[in-house]
Structure 1
Amino acid sequence: MFHVALFNPVMPANTGNIIRLCANNGCQLHLIEPLGFDFEEKKLRRAGLDYHDLSKLVRYPDFSTFKEAMGKRAIYAITTKGTARYTEISFQADDVLLFGSETGGLDPEVMEQIAPRHRLRIPMQPNNRSLNLSNAVAIVTYHAWDQQGFAGGA
């Protein structure tokens, strides 16, 4: 299944929602520090409900450690600065979908490590800044999973 990576997430409720989402769609969740909250925060636990035990979650101290762990997997950055729509990609089952912080997106140093053709955007109305992080993760992961025929799903 796919890998969802959150770089420097700062809102515990979003991360909790994404934990629940990944438990339901089978994605492996990767959290890249620093985190903008305590991992034991009540909002994180509440949003993730009882799905924390069902999700596959790994934490990394920084982006370079994460990138090394991903090996040769394709990494797609989902960003408002993307050069292609997420719907224009044929995702493979082991691809990585990388999302930036709710407040700052992806750091320029991280973005430089992602090939321009792997920087994807979700279309939105003009003059809007961005979507909610957990909504963006849901949109892209379910599209990618659909391309796999919802393999493993009920």
Structure 2
Amino acid sequence: MRIALFQPDIPQNAGTLIRTGACLDVPVDIVEPCGFILDDTRLRRSLMDYGELAAVSRHVNWSAFAASRRGRIVLVETDHGVPYTDFAFHPDDTLLLGRESAGTPPEVAAACHAAVHIPMHPGARSLNVAIAAAMVLGEALRQTRAWTHAPAG
């Protein structure tokens, strides 16, 4: 299981997701270009001291990222695809999150193997990308029993 951020705009969200990956032992891919410099103080503040625990891979563009992937790329969308709780995740899936400002372009969405969404109240536009990723990642790890350090009992 992996998390991938497509051209992230907000350093605090990227830092939060890198920290999430570090805590849950899930690698994070960053598809550039980003809307910020990766050593941004806002990213470091949200990442805190988890940077050394995180497995982060940077990709210069979508083509480089797509060429590096094994397994399915599952796009996490605001309103397309199946509800994430109805989707059967695989252990080698990569959860792709789009740009906060613009999502993913049609050619990127078309290249994904599947799309899932989080059902929301009518009229709500979207959740914060880090919250959405954590929700879907939690379900994917639960389904695949991929919690690496689950407590005994």
TM (norm. structure 2) is 0.94
- Distance in structure 2 (CA, Å) of the matches to 1:42 and 1:26: 23
* Structure 1 contact 8–100 (Cα < 8 Å) conserved: yes
Deviations along 1:70-97, whole A, 9 cap, x unmatched?
Answer: 03x1110001232211111121111110
* Poorly superposed stretches of 4+, deviation over 2 Å: 148-151
**Contact 1:81-1:119 at 8 Å conserved across structures:** no
Asked if 1:133 is matched to 2:129, the reply is yes
Aligned residues: 150
RMSD after superposition: 1.1
Deviations 1:85-139 (A, max 9, x none): 1111121111110000011111112112124xx1111111111111001001100
Which structure 1 segments of 5+ residues have no match?
none
Separation (CA, whole Å) in 1 of partners of 2:25 and 2:119? 25
Give the Cα–Cα distance (whole angstroms) in 2 for the partners of residues 55 and 87 of structure 1. 27
1:1-154 alignment, distance < 5 Å = 2-71=1-70, 73-115=71-113, 118-154=114-150
Q: Using the alignment, how far apart are the partners of 2:77 and 2:86 within structure 1?
A: 14
The superposition leaves residues 17-68 of structure 1 with CA deviations (integer Å, 9 ceiling, x where unpaired) of: 0011000111110000110001111010010000010000000011111011
SS in 2 for 1:5: strand
The unaligned stretches of length 5 or more in structure 2 are none
SS at match of 1:31: strand
**Could you state the TM-score of these two structures normalised by the residue count of structure 1?**
0.93
The one-letter code of the counterpart of 2:76 is: I
Is the Cα contact below 8 Å between 2:8 and 2:99 reproduced in 1? yes
Which amino acid in the other structure matches residue 85 of structure 1? P
Shift of 1:150: 4.5
Question: Is the Cα–Cα contact under 8 Å of residues 10 and 36 in structure 2 kept in the other structure?
Answer: yes
Of stretches 88-97 and 42-51 in structure 1, the one that deviates more from structure 2 is: 88-97
